[in-house]
Structure 1
Amino acid sequence: MIARDLMNSDFPYVTADADLDYVAKLLAECGLGAVPVVDDELAPIGIVTRSNLEQARPHPLPDLGAIPGFLLRNRPKPVFHANGRALREVMTSPAISISDFAKVPDIARIMESHSLKRIPVVEGHKIIGLVLRKEVMEAMAGGFTAMALEAHRRRPLISLPQQTGDRCAVATAREFRELVAAHERQLDLERVERRRGAIELREQRIRDLANQRLTDPQWREMLEQARRSAAAGLTEHLLIRFPSQLCADGGRAINAPDPNWPATLRGEPADVFHRWRNELHPRGFRIAAQIVDFPEGLPGDAALFLMWSAARI
């Protein structure tokens, strides 16, 4: 019988940068009495036991003396607190380990010579299991039958608490990836809903604009803003910006450009063009239409520009 026959791969382990309070909690929950410490390659570099934690507890003040044993009997031990100590300060290092092909007598001799109650099993340098001294002693005494040995291999070495309200007590990377995928699906649904809402708002705005007419005060305000643009040294002014879908052809004539684009205007933009043609064109002002943005590669908003530069286009 060799170490691989006795070991069980269901055991906790941590890296050296783990919080000591977490390791203490793990020891209290798993019931194993030891937690191996491994490096990035999963090679054991130390081990933490309950004895390590007991030695790390603060000692009673000298003037108070030790607490009598009868007061400590059947008294629950207080929760361990690291108080700033690092795991490296508490763990036993270096870790003594055995090969997965180590024979039971050799395992017993190593554990006896080093006073070990449990020992990590490695394959090469990587930790793959733990062996307990009581099970080594039972195997030495012939207490493991073939059926019992097979049951032992399948039996978890530790029993982690059942998942209750703490959903993070037992988790896998796959579960976290599924959470990420669910989050991304939710984001996709929200994007679809936002896009649908934006489309509905835009369509409502187009319907409102199609029925909206240009008033005289609005026209005078447009001209006043154009005057301020000229005073600032500009040679053109944006009179009105509107969804290209307000045009009868969805803005295709403006984007072409097609000389007949004015005939596609509807609502307030059509009124602006007519006011320009009747009042401003005879006075030397020109007008131009342009698609000013292309969301998702399609014509978005269009605009009418009033121009007064001497150059002809």
Structure 2
Amino acid sequence: MKTVKEIMTTHIPAIYADSELTQAIDELHQHALFCAPVLDKHKHVIGFVSEQQMLAPLLQSSYFCEGKVTVKELMTDTVVSVSDTMSIVDLAQQMQGNKPKVYPVISNKQVIGLVTRSQVIEALKQDYLSCSVH
């Protein structure tokens, strides 16, 4: 069975707690993501930020032309991460229900990639198709 390491992406957005809101938005869009981990300078995950969390402060700041907003002001510090050695079956089971759609992949306390629900579904689809060929 495939592991998370085999399907994850290693292109991680560079979003830090002191990143300005528009920088974080640009990083998400460059990586075609709607959420991402917030990193410290050692690539340790210290939080998570999503477009949903960005909407209200962006609306408020753009309407009232208030000062700059940093990621630290809106990120959540509760992060659900996975190991690169986790099987995709275990991850798929963990993803069922109202769970995150994107997980940071951690090895040696550092983020080494991201895995999305879409990647897990595609990998399981390939396994499913290989079963129906036999």
Q: Structure 1 length as normaliser, TM-score? A: 0.36
8 Å CA contact 2:49–2:76 kept in 1: the answer is yes
Once the 2 structures are TM-superposed, how far is the Cα of residue 123 of structure 1 from its aligned partner? 0.5
2:94 counterpart SS class? helix
Tell whether 2:79 aligns with 1:95. yes
Distance 1:114 1:29, change over 3 A: same
Q: Which amino acid aligns with 1:133?
A: R
Once the 2 structures are TM-superposed, how far is the Cα of residue 55 of structure 1 from its aligned partner? 3.6
Root-mean-square deviation (CA, aligned residues, Å) is 2.6
| Paired-residue identity, % | 26
Within 5 Å, give how 1:215-230 maps onto structure 2. Answer: none
Once the 2 structures are TM-superposed, how far is the Cα of residue 24 of structure 1 from its aligned partner? 1.7
1:232 matched to which residue of 2? none
Tell whether 2:47 aligns with 1:36. no
Distance 1:38 1:123, change over 3 A: same
1:46 matched to which residue of 2? 47
2:107 matched to which residue of 1? 123
The structure having more radius of gyration, on CA atoms, is 1
8 Å CA contact 2:17–2:71 kept in 1: the answer is yes
Distance 1:145 1:12, change over 3 A: farther
Tell whether 2:95 aligns with 1:111. yes
Within 5 Å, give how 1:166-205 maps onto structure 2. Answer: none
Q: Where in structure 1 are there 5+ consecutive unaligned residues?
A: 60-77, 147-313
Distance 1:93 1:110, change over 3 A: farther
Once the 2 structures are TM-superposed, how far is the Cα of residue 113 of structure 1 from its aligned partner? 4.5
Distance 1:90 1:118 in 2: 18
Distance 1:31 1:97 in 2: 19
Once the 2 structures are TM-superposed, how far is the Cα of residue 46 of structure 1 from its aligned partner? 1.4
Distance 2:33 2:74 in 1: 18
2:126 matched to which residue of 1? 142
Distance 1:52 1:87 in 2: 9
Once the 2 structures are TM-superposed, how far is the Cα of residue 119 of structure 1 from its aligned partner? 0.7
8 Å CA contact 1:23–1:35 kept in 2: the answer is no
Distance 1:120 1:92, change over 3 A: same
2:12 matched to which residue of 1? 11
Q: Which amino acid aligns with 2:82?
A: I
Within 5 Å, give how 1:222-241 maps onto structure 2. Answer: none
Distance 2:110 2:91 in 1: 18
Distance 2:23 2:91 in 1: 30
Once the 2 structures are TM-superposed, how far is the Cα of residue 27 of structure 1 from its aligned partner? 2.1
8 Å CA contact 2:39–2:45 kept in 1: the answer is yes
- The count of aligned residue pairs is 126
2:59 counterpart SS class? coil
8 Å CA contact 1:13–1:35 kept in 2: the answer is no
Q: Whose RCO is larger (CA < 8 A, sep 6+)?
A: 2
